[in-house]
Amino acid sequence: MKTSTETQGHLSAIATCAIREFRMIATSYSILLVMIGGIFVYGLLYNYMYAPNLIREAPVTVVDKSNTPLSRAYARLLDASPQVAVYSHAPDMPAAKTKMKTDRTVGIVFIPEDFESRVGRGEQSVFLAFGNTSAFLDFAALEEAAAGAMRELDGRVRPDMAVFLPPPALYAMSQTPAAEVVGTALYNPTEGYGSYLIPAVLIIIIFQTLLMVTGMIAGRERYEGTLLFHARNGLGFGRMADAVAGKTFAYCTLYAVFALFLVGLLPGLFSIPHIGSGWNTVMLFIPYLLATCFFGLTGSLFFADSESPILMITFFSVGLIFLSGISYPLELMPWYWRAFHFVIPAPPAVLAFIKLNSMDATMADIRTEFLTLWLQCAFYFVTACLVLRYNIRRAMGRRLTARMGRQ
């Protein structure tokens, strides 16, 4: 009977804390703005920006100062590439820039006067490509098309350059068979940038906004002095665990809905790869959301007000994607960066989600990342309870000091 009473007391404390968290979220415009803006607006905006995924026939202007058969051949190869189309030829750079400023073109390819003469002397020739960085996919398409056209032109002209080689090198080149390199990106055969980036960004959005929400609420409690609410039943570890569990229940309930929107609805709307098992994704998100909540509550030690989390967390997106191992192999990272991969919940979750969502992996294939998230849950749950108790004791000390000062 005593055990049943204690269990009811713990459940009551958890429910009370969860209701209080829901109320704090619902009555804070800044927190609602972060959640709605970060999840819905940010998620839709990112997908909309990369919705084309692949750029085809992007208009560019060619400034051909060489005006030779070789330069015209390069312009024709550039126009034949699938990424860009030669919209017009301009006599000089000011005229080409005018067209780019008026949004008629997205880039400029400048061919200098000595383009063919340098090739005729057996030297390396150069060209310049200018892109409008207001849309990075346009810039990437221009760079890819310009480089591809130059490689094709180089292959056509290279045999004529044999006259500049010494006899030993000429003999070696004549005896070397040509190598044909054909590559296809695994699980992204179209090499679309959105297909590669968006699934990782969706996980990062969940991580960052959830950290902001937990940090803003913790900072608000410390600033307003309402943190002592959690000390009404004592400062024992069990009472702190009740408070942490109540907070986590509120956050995970909301973010389960947000995760359904981000990784369930948006990929279908914007044709993002989504070939994995939905059940496996749910299994992954259970430890991921828990670990992120506990990690955020542990990090509340450093948040003295509700504004500091926004300033401290917002700009870590690129670093988190780097640590995940999808933009740079983990095996090539220094040991300390690999260690950070296992310390923060987002990197292993991103890597696991990419395997599940874009590569149709099984739970056995993400065993390392899955176990890492559960170990983080256990560790950060303990640290979250300790940090909450430490913050409460500091708040009690400040209140006692203030009373003594008034006396």
How does pLDDT run across 329-375, given as a tens digit for each residue? 888 889 889 998 999 999 999 999 999 988 888 999 999 999 999 99
* Domain stop point among 141, 175, 209: 175
Looking at the fold, whether 15 and 87 belong to one and the same domain comes out as no
What's the average model confidence in pLDDT over 125-154? 81
Q: Which pLDDT value is given to residue 375?
A: 96
The CATH number of whichever domain residue 121 belongs to comes to: 3.40.1710
Q: Which pLDDT value is given to residue 41?
A: 84
- pLDDT band of residue 171 (cuts 50, 70, 90) is low
CB 377 within 8 A of CB 294: yes
Q: What digits encode the pLDDT tens for the residues 237-283? A: 888 898 899 999 999 999 999 999 988 888 888 878 788 888 999 99
* Domain stop point among 123, 150, 175: 175
Looking at the fold, whether 152 and 207 belong to one and the same domain comes out as no
Q: Which pLDDT value is given to residue 372?
A: 96
> How many domains are there within the chain?
2
pTM for the complete prediction? 0.79
Q: How far is CA 363 from the centre of its chain?
A: 23
| Phi-psi category of residue 130: left, alpha or beta, with phi > 0 → left and psi -120 to 50 → alpha | beta
Q: Which of 48-52, 94-98, 248-252 has the lowest mean pLDDT?
A: 48-52
Q: Which pLDDT value is given to residue 1?
A: 44
Q: How many residues does the chain have?
A: 407
Beta strands 107-111 and 128-131, pairing class: antiparallel
Looking at the fold, whether 252 and 327 belong to one and the same domain comes out as yes
Q: What digits encode the pLDDT tens for the residues 108-124? A: 899 888 888 887 777 77
Q: Kindly state the percentage of the chain with pLDDT values over 70.
A: 88
Looking at the fold, whether 235 and 349 belong to one and the same domain comes out as yes
Range of the domain at 292: 2-50+190-406
Order of strands across the sheet with 58-64?
84-89, 58-64, 107-111, 128-131
User: What 3-state DSSP class applies to 26?
Assistant: helix
User: What 3-state DSSP class applies to 28?
Assistant: coil
Q: Please, what is the average pLDDT of the chain?
A: 83
Q: Which pLDDT value is given to residue 51?
A: 72
First to last CA, the chain: 47
- pLDDT band of residue 179 (cuts 50, 70, 90) is low
